[in-house]
Amino acid sequence: MSDISEKAALVVSAHSADFVWRAGGSIALHVEQGYGSISSACPSASEASPQSFGARAK
């Protein structure tokens, strides 16, 4: 069972490259702030499924 107190974030972007170029700094900041899980959802027609960053950097 996962720890309910773990911080998590979801990045929603129209295209897969958008979150890399436009939100990369914010994603890195959330990792530094202790977010244990950061996932992305890219609902464009060319994307098959969400990607997970698995942010466990300490």
Q: What is the rounded CA–CA span in Å between residue 54 and residue 45?
A: 24
Q: Read off the pLDDT of residues 48-57 as tens digits, 9 standing for 90 and up.
A: 555 555 544 4
* 40, 53 Cβ separation under 8 angstroms: yes
DSSP-assigned beta bridge partners for residue 8:
37
Annotated domain spans of the chain: 8-52
Q: Read off the pLDDT of residues 1-58 as tens digits, 9 standing for 90 and up.
A: 555 678 899 988 887 777 778 888 998 999 999 998 888 888 775 545 555 555 444 4
How are beta strands 37-41 and 51-52 bridged, if at all? antiparallel
Full-model pTM: 0.59
